[in-house]
């Protein structure tokens, strides 16, 4: 099985995901018989380097959020391996095989920030207590030290320490996301999954939060998996990008390869939809017909053929293998030409 994304130190990546699958059973009738499967994530492979950012992008319903939650075991996986190496010298651990107690011990390393931090913060708990909670649960600091630690975390994410006594509803969306970041940062994580973390924010606030995430990455060497439907958002934070469609990665490579030399028709269509303030940079919008199909009954052959303007007969019957385009750039399309003889 090949790695579809190689985001840096190939000898000792922080995370190596192999064949990740997450299916949900479809049940029907009085006895809730299983009559099908929703293949939300259908065989993802990628690696994530230390201190690097990989973005998983695609329209709503492509499986990117399910992938992020499954690899942290917030959802039970159907198949695959997630090899995690907190220490480059040590042998990697398969997260999916860890007993519950060992998984709990690993939780501080693996954090997640959600699109709506309001939903993940207890409305009756002050933000200071919300940030203190994981510190006390995991016994990172004593009760006498926790106030100072919370104040330091609030300052580090750009909030005044005295806001610790306020409740979530007293903050703006951007401030609440900073609280979410402080809470994720509290336990010294090695990986943070940012699940549409800036999607609900105004453009200027998005830029501030992205800059904060980049600063924290530089300071603490955190790796990010950045999940987003909007490619323009991920451009400036990503080392590598994987484009998902109906549960599979259809193109992956470095951010420069994906943004400057996209090869898959779906990637090109997504990129053509990004608005540019500068009219000279506006290209022709590539149309995509219809909505993303249901993953319960994905189209035969290339899943994208029902919306692809370039589809030909074999696209309706043959799933395209991923073609190596050179230097870690790969795309799964019958029309893409391999850079060499190697096919992934």
- Candidate residues 21, 178, 248, 334; the one interacting with ligand SF4 per rule CB under 6 A: 334
Q: What minimum distance in Å lies between the beta carbon of 316 and ligand SF4?
A: 8
Q: What minimum distance in Å lies between the beta carbon of 46 and ligand SF4?
A: 20
Any long-range contacts for 302-311 (C-beta under 8 Å, 24+ apart)? 302/332, 302/333, 302/334, 303/245, 303/246, 303/248, 304/245, 304/246, 304/250, 304/265, 304/266, 307/266, 308/265, 308/266, 309/265, 310/265, 310/335
Which range binds ligand SF4 by CB under 6 A, 68-76, 143-151, 233-241, 330-338?
330-338
Q: Which two tokens stand for residue 270?
A: 């997504």
292 phi/psi in degrees, rounded to 5: -65, 130
- Candidate residues 113, 308, 323, 324; the one interacting with ligand SF4 per rule CB under 6 A: 308
Tokens 């190689």 belong to residue: 6
SS3 content of the chain, % helix, strand, coil (to 5): 30, 25, 45
- Candidate residues 315, 323, 324, 325; the one interacting with ligand SF4 per rule CB under 6 A: 315
Give dist(CA 317, CA 158) in Å, integer.
53
Which range binds ligand SF4 by CB under 6 A, 29-37, 63-71, 105-113, 303-311?
303-311
Give dist(CA 18, CA 16) in Å, integer.
6
The nearer residue to ligand SF4, 178 or 334, going by C-beta atoms, is: 334
Beta bridge partners of 94: 83
The nearer residue to ligand SF4, 38 or 302, going by C-beta atoms, is: 302
Which range binds ligand SF4 by CB under 6 A, 23-31, 152-160, 166-174, 306-314?
306-314
249 binds ligand SF4 (CB under 6 A): no
The nearer residue to ligand SF4, 178 or 264, going by C-beta atoms, is: 264
Q: Which residues in the chain belong to E strands, given as ranges?
A: 15-28, 33-48, 53-57, 79-84, 93-94, 110-113, 191-195, 223-228, 240-245, 248-254, 323-326, 329-331
The site string for ligand SF4 over 253-272 (x = CB under 6 A, - otherwise) reads ------------x-------
Q: What minimum distance in Å lies between the beta carbon of 30 and ligand SF4?
A: 40
Q: Which residues contribute to the site for ligand SF4 (CB under 6 A)?
A: 265, 302, 304-305, 308, 310-311, 315, 320, 333-335
């Amino acid at each position: 099985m090949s790695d579809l994304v190689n985001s840096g130190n190939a000898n000792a990546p922080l995370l190596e995901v192999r064949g990740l699958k997450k299916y949900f059973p479809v049940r029907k009738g009085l006895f809730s018989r299983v009559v099908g499967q929703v293949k939300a994530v259908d065989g993802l492979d990628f690696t994530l380097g230390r201190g690097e950012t990989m973005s998983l992008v695609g329209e709503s319903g492509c499986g990117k959020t399910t992938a992020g939650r499954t690899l942290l075991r917030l959802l039970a996986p159907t198949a695959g391996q997630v090899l995690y190496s907190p220490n480059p010298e040590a042998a990697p651990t398969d997260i999916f095989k860890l007993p519950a107690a060992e998984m709990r011990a690993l939780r501080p390393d693996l954090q997640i920030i959600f699109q709506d931090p309001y939903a993940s913060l207890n409305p009756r708990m002050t933000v200071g207590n919300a940030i203190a909670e994981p510190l006390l649960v995991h016994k990172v600091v004593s009760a006498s030290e926790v106030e100072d630690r919370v104040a330091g975390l609030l300052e580090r994410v750009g909030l005044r320490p005295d806001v610790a006594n306020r409740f979530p509803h007293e903050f703006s969306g951007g401030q609440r996301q900073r609280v979410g970041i402080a809470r994720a940062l509290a336990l010294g994580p090695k990986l943070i999954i940012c699940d549409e973390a800036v999607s609900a924010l105004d453009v200027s606030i998005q830029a501030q939060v992205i800059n904060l995430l980049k600063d924290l990455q530089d300071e603490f060497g955190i790796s990010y998996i950045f999940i987003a439907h909007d490619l323009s958002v991920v451009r400036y934070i990503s080392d590598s990008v994987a484009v998902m469609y109906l549960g599979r990665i259809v193109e992956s490579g470095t951010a420069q390869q994906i943004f400057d030399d996209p090869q898959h028709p779906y990637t090109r269509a997504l990129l053509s939809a990004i608005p540019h303030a500068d009219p000279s940079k506006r290209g022709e919008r590539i149309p995509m017909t219809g909505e993303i199909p249901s993953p319960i009954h994905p189209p035969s052959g290339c899943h994208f053929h029902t919306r692809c303007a370039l589809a030909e007969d074999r696209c309706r019957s043959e799933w395209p293998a991923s073609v190596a385009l050179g230097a870690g750039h790969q795309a799964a399309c019958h029309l893409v030409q391999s850079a060499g003889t190697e096919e992934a």
